[in-house]
């Protein structure tokens, strides 16, 4: 396997996990940035890397993407909570001939779940007696809600199930009242519990039964491995890519 020089933008829970996987796969970490050494986050330093892997915060990710574009360094983005700016970033990346790989979830298991979720939504067009709801559970430090993964699942449902046209998020932490679910709406309930890396459940519920499509991450290894494989994949490519461009299903 070939070896690449990696800049880690964000050295928290994910950055540290990615470092382990990258070293195991024979790569070199040439830059590690967190909030304590932002003075080292320069275009000059980024130019020393073949690729950057970005797992920071919703507030800092856009600035980091811009810096990588300026440095001409391909960037893999795992940070969530910024996708309302996605179309602008995509246009800039394509018109200026940069490289961006983005995914709300890098794990193979979740990407299989994304695929099944779309198939299931198509099937459920024929069964109007079922309503659909979603639940996502994450650790207490997570800054955004609903999770990027839950939003991708919701978009997969809205694109394929005719009776649903919009999603609505609800953080169930005792501070918000449960929103009223409308027939065309998809309610995403977010729960925050100690130590949970990420659990997502799509449920179709009728008066007589319930179908659950559930993914449970046991740890962060799947996300980290996917991000490193994406970094290896994007070093030789220009444009905007996501997991379905890299996976063969």
Ligand X SMILES: NC(=O)c1ccc[n+]([C@@H]2O[C@H](COP(=O)([O-])OP(=O)(O)OC[C@H]3O[C@@H](n4cnc5c(N)ncnc54)[C@H](O)[C@@H]3O)[C@@H](O)[C@H]2O)c1
Q: Known catalytic residue: 27? A: no
Residue 73 is given by DSSP the state -
Q: Give the active site residue among 138, 164, 200, 215.
A: 138
> Of the ranges 30-38, 43-51, 85-93, 232-240, which one interacts with ligand X (CB under 6 A)?
30-38
Does the protein bind ligand X through residue 109 (CB under 6 A)?
A: no
Supply the minimum distance, in Å, between the C-beta of residue 219 and ligand X.
11
Closer CB to ligand X, 191 or 205, in the complex: 191
Site for ligand X in 134-153 (CB under 6 A): 141-142
- Please classify residue 153 by burial: count the beta carbons closer than 10 Å to its beta carbon, then call 0-12 exposed, 13-18 middle and 19+ buried: buried
Q: Give the active site residue among 16, 90, 142, 221.
A: 142
Closer CB to ligand X, 55 or 204, in the complex: 55
Does the protein bind ligand X through residue 204 (CB under 6 A)?
A: no
Q: How far is CA 187 from CA 137, 149, 180, in A?
A: 14, 14, 9
Question: What is the Cα–Cα distance from 131 to 198, expressed in whole angstroms?
Answer: 23
Does the protein bind ligand X through residue 56 (CB under 6 A)?
A: yes
Count of residues near ligand X by CB under 6 A: 29
Residue 38 is given by DSSP the state G
Sheet containing 75-77: order of strands: 28-33, 5-9, 51-54, 75-77, 99-102, 239-241
- Please classify residue 58 by burial: count the beta carbons closer than 10 Å to its beta carbon, then call 0-12 exposed, 13-18 middle and 19+ buried: middle
Q: Known catalytic residue: 142? A: yes
Does the protein bind ligand X through residue 66 (CB under 6 A)?
A: no
Per CB under 6 A, residues contacting ligand X are 9-15, 33-35, 38, 41, 55-58, 60, 64, 78-81, 103-106, 141-142, 223
Q: Which residues are catalytic?
A: 138, 142
């Amino acid at each position: 396997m070939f070896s690449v020089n990696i800049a880690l933008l964000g050295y928290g829970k994910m950055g540290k996990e990615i470092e382990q996987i990258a070293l195991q796969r024979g790569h070199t970490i040439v830059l590690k940035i967190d909030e304590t050494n932002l003075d080292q986050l320069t275009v000059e330093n980024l130019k020393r890397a073949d690729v950057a892997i970005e797992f920071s915060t919703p507030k800092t990710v856009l600035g980091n993407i811009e810096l990588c574009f300026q440095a001409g360094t391909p960037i893999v983005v795992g940070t969530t909570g910024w996708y309302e700016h996605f179309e602008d970033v995509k246009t800039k990346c394509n018109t200026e001939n940069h490289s961006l790989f983005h995914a709300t979830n890098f794990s193979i298991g979740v990407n299989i779940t994304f695929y099944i979720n779309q198939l299931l939504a198509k099937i459920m067009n024929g069964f109007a007696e079922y309503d659909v709801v979603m639940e996502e559970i994450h650790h207490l430090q997570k800054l955004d809600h609903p999770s990027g993964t839950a939003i991708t699942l919701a978009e997969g449902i809205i694109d394929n199930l005719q009776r649903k046209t919009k999603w609505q998020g609800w953080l169930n932490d005792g501070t918000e009242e449960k929103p009223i679910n409308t027939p065309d709406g998809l309610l995403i309930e977010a729960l925050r519990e100690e130590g949970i890396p990420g659990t997502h459940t799509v449920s179709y519920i009728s008066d007589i039964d319930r179908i659950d499509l559930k993914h449970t991450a046991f740890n962060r290894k799947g996300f980290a491995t996917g991000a490193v494989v994406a970094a290896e994949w994007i070093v030789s490519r220009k444009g905007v890519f996501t997991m379905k461009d890299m996976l063969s299903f």
